[in-house]
Structure 1
Amino acid sequence: MVEQKRPPKSRGFYVKMKLLHKHGRPQQEKICFFRYYKWILWFSLSLYFFTSYLISNNPNGKPTSLHKTRLSNAKSSVVSRALFEPINVTAPEQAIGTPGLLKNLKVFVYDLPPKYNTDWLSNARCSSHLFASEVAIHRALLTSDVRTFDPYEADFFFVPVYVSCNFSTVNGFPAIGHARSLMASAVQLVSSEYPFWNRSRGSDHVFVASHDFGACFHTLEDVAIADGIPEFLKNSIILQTFGVQYKHPCQDAENVVIPPYVWPESIRNTLEKVPATGQRDIWVFFRGKMEVHPKNVSGRFYSKRVRTMIWRKFNGDRRFYVQRHRFAGYQSEIARSVFCLCPLGWAPWSPRLVESVALGCVPVIIADGIRLPFPSAVKWPEISLKVAEKDVGKLAKILEDVAATNLTTIQKNLWDPRNRGALLFNNQVQEGDATWQVLRALSEKLDRSYRSSRVSRELVTDT
């Protein structure tokens, strides 16, 4: 530590000497007291600045062991701030540590160059559109209690690559044609500069693929199936919104089905205006893309004709509020509705699943074989309805029967705030929220962790 120079005599010192000279010995006691007080103040300030320096250089509150890696806590801190400042628009929530429930899980977050993630945040949509869980999970992990700065004590390694933030200049939709090459570049980087990928062949590495068909990286199912999941990702864990209950090439890797991203603040704002348990004057609601003709301009059948059937069959039914055009305040319509239709689009999942549950509207899921997120936390059979795609023409009769029998029970289950919490991603991990559910799912996959498997082998050997 550089020795601090003694500060020059101040005007206060000159005034004290004048007083002493003027009043003589009776002022000595006051002068002694002043000198004692000055040194106490000086010591307190020195202690404050010293502890502040330690805290700012070690955010984990403990020494970091980086061993053979090229990691830098200072660099991590810079990346963390760059990630938070443009997108943390809500009041920060208090992170809740639950090491027991998460089996003392430890996750190491790779500090990748910003071209893989934070550079994309220059576009505000990157952190707010329906695929933004890739941003939200990264952001929450950076301040989570499960994060470790020592990769040698990590159970899992999170690779933060944003592939859904490249928006087409033609139609404004996310363009993911670059996704495979960007992911491949990230894998090449971590496998060449760090030892952790190669020792497990990537089995304890976690990626987010939050678009239509997950790690197949294409928005059209036939092309996605033909491409399949890249070989370099097939041994890893994929967090993806896509999930079905039957064998499908786009879930041909260890995966966790996660909800699509819905901005929590928008839900809170809507609930303040229209409470979930308030009056509902819309019986059946749907707003979204509905093709008048079943064949899309691409030559493919959009939504497997389901949305076209909804439009043709129920557009004239006054009990059905179906709209084909965008409306910024559509969440207020959901909050006023009894039933909310959640038909498949190109993929089986939809952000309406989250918005309906969060705003207390019974989701009517029309997507055969869909696998829903976090079934251990969200009791989907108790809070939603499933209607087969072939029965979409019978919707009115089906919903009439539910309204006459068990609608009240379904609504009571639906309004449990734990359901809403499990499907929303917060700025910081809160117990029970979507990122917490991801961590809980990972804690059930510790057999894939190189570190946990090694510890288990050592225990068996010792016994």
Structure 2
Amino acid sequence: MHDLHRSTKNRKGFYVKMKFFKTKNAKQEKPFFVKYFKWILWFSLSFYFFLKFLNNHDSGNINFKTTIVNHSHRALSESILHQPKNNQGLLNDMKVYVYELPSKYNTDWLSNERCSNHLFASEVAIHKALLKSRVRTFDPTDADFFFVPVYVSCNFSTVNGFPAIGHARGLLSSAVELVSSELPYWNRSKGADHVFVASHDYGACFHAMEDRAIAEGIPEFMKNSIVLQTFGVKYQHPCQNVEHIVIPPYVSPEKVQLTLSKSSIDGRRDIFVFFRGKMEVHPKNVSGRYYSKRVRTEILRKYGNDRRFYLKRHRFAGYQSEIVRSVFCLCPLGWAPWSPRLVESVALGCVPVIIADGIRLPFESTVPWSDISLTVRENDVAKLGNILDYVATTNLSMIQQKLWDPKLRQALMFYDDVETGNATWEVLVALSTKLDRSQRRSRVSSE
């Protein structure tokens, strides 16, 4: 090693000579490739960078269709990174294509950080998780479903701070017009294999007041699609007359984890019955509508002075610390039947007391709601105290044992990644049962 170093120390480098053939004079002659190696290398690199420049220049003018086509070219290499892992078979090797819409339809709204953290934020969470999911395909010709990522819940009213979704129909219609004009997949199935999120009071009817929601109905262009919505009931209702999957409302996993880091889920629970939220003394509002069908008003009237009931009407940022101290958490309907309290109660180990007639709960095939919660009819609110006393003295410990299973918390919460058993995974499992709507599957089966 040292001799080699000494023999080459005065050289700028070294190379290995290879004898390819001999001339008549036995002189060694360099082959063409070796002789002109520098020039070939220079030409190759120049040509590569020239092509790269042509492909990327004027990127500000690349349209939606060009972006999709470029992604299709990446599909082969990307698919290596998105090979199925364990449990992928449960999804029947389903593939989802995520449209890359202009930022005005989604990410521009994230400038307000509430957009990704409020109770309607599942539209943001599902989109983010799918972007990193192994079910995602970059080749639209290989997709079973097409996800249309439009955030419609992040337009917060300057008057009351609540999400104002009056623009939802126009924004969604514009997105559909874009994808249907630039690519053939919407028109091919008439939107049947396209997926939207409608995480609002009355789902795809896009209005908080039931009578207005019913009157306006589901937008015509969405009626053939699949809607992921928090609204679900077991009876006939115009706002769920669309192919849909009932999903949980959004609750921040980080906030839940922070609460549990301070108070163990099986720790002391010194509050017997808990509720914090809107409870109107006079429930009929200026529009003549009765909030919560007067259920919350009846709870306040009947149990406002009952020491077993911890009822608070005002907001408190740290109210999760109260849930984790409570045995029973009331989940009465508001304007719509569902409530984020359903998820918060399960996540923090408080037995949900569901007061919303006919409600259909999220992921009923996975979450054993009848084993971990109580259901009280709206007309039986006056009997609430006796009902909860009876449960507390009979099978409360059995309910809590099942409720405190961490798998239930995971199933109802949306995380940054799709992992087996979390809420976005459960959405995909439910979606895989609708593969008969996939144009790709129909094509393959007919061949």
Partners of 1:343 and 1:366 within 8 A in 2: yes
Partners of 1:216 and 1:229 within 8 A in 2: yes
Q: Which moved more, 1:249-258 or 1:293-302?
A: 293-302
> Could you list the per-position Cα deviations for residues 185-212 of structure 1 after superposition, in whole angstroms to 9, with x for gaps in the alignment?
1111111111000110100000000010
Question: Is 1:422 the counterpart of 2:400 in the alignment?
Answer: no
Measure the CA separation in 2 of the matches of 1:151 and 1:251. Answer: 28
What is aligned with 2:196?
A: 207
Measure the CA separation in 2 of the matches of 1:257 and 1:33. Answer: 73
Q: Which amino acid aligns with 2:190?
A: R
What is aligned with 1:289?
A: 278
Corresponding residue to 2:6 among 28, 31, 48: 28
Corresponding residue to 2:330 among 334, 341, 351: 341
SS at match of 2:201: coil
Measure the CA separation in 1 of the matches of 2:281 and 2:10. Answer: 91
> Could you list the per-position Cα deviations for residues 324-379 of structure 1 after superposition, in whole angstroms to 9, with x for gaps in the alignment?
00000000100000000000000000000000000000000000000000011111
So what's the TM-score if we normalise by structure 2? 0.84
RMSD: 2.4
**1:334–1:96 Cα change, 3 Å:** farther
> Could you list the per-position Cα deviations for residues 133-190 of structure 1 after superposition, in whole angstroms to 9, with x for gaps in the alignment?
0000000000000000000000000000000010001111000000011111111111
Q: Which amino acid aligns with 1:171?
A: N
1:25 Cα deviation from its structure 2 partner = 8.2
Q: Which amino acid aligns with 1:420?
A: R
Question: Is 1:443 the counterpart of 2:439 in the alignment?
Answer: no
Partners of 1:96 and 1:431 within 8 A in 2: no
Q: Which amino acid aligns with 2:167?
A: H
What is aligned with 1:350?
A: 339
Corresponding residue to 1:114 among 82, 103, 108: 103
> Could you list the per-position Cα deviations for residues 104-148 of structure 1 after superposition, in whole angstroms to 9, with x for gaps in the alignment?
010000010111001101110000000000000000000000000
Structure-to-structure mapping, 1:82-93, within 5 angstroms? none
What is aligned with 2:295?
A: 306
Measure the CA separation in 2 of the matches of 1:96 and 1:32. Answer: 55
Structure-to-structure mapping, 1:195-234, within 5 angstroms? 195-234=184-223
Corresponding residue to 1:244 among 233, 247, 261: 233
Question: Is 1:194 the counterpart of 2:183 in the alignment?
Answer: yes
Unaligned runs of 5+ in 1: 1-23, 38-49, 58-67, 77-94, 459-463
1:457 Cα deviation from its structure 2 partner = 1.9
Identity of aligned residues (%): 70
So what's the TM-score if we normalise by structure 1? 0.81
What is aligned with 2:134?
A: 145
1:70 Cα deviation from its structure 2 partner = 2.9
What is aligned with 1:70?
A: 66
Partners of 1:180 and 1:230 within 8 A in 2: yes
Measure the CA separation in 2 of the matches of 1:26 and 1:384. Answer: 80
**1:33–1:212 Cα change, 3 Å:** farther
1:275 Cα deviation from its structure 2 partner = 1.0
Measure the CA separation in 2 of the matches of 1:364 and 1:33. Answer: 84
Measure the CA separation in 1 of the matches of 2:195 and 2:357. Answer: 28
1:71 Cα deviation from its structure 2 partner = 2.9
SS at match of 1:322: strand
Q: Which amino acid aligns with 1:405?
A: T
SS at match of 1:255: strand
Q: Which amino acid aligns with 2:217?
A: G
SS at match of 2:88: coil
**1:127–1:96 Cα change, 3 Å:** farther
Which protein is bigger by CA-based radius of gyration? 2
Structure 1 stretches (4+) deviating beyond 4 angstroms?
24-27, 32-37, 72-76
Partners of 2:8 and 2:14 within 8 A in 1: no
Partners of 2:71 and 2:138 within 8 A in 1: no
Partners of 1:207 and 1:237 within 8 A in 2: yes
> Could you list the per-position Cα deviations for residues 42-85 of structure 1 after superposition, in whole angstroms to 9, with x for gaps in the alignment?
xxxxxxxx9xx9xxx9xxxxxxxxxx953358789xxxxxxxxx
Q: Which amino acid aligns with 1:118?
A: T
SS at match of 1:71: helix
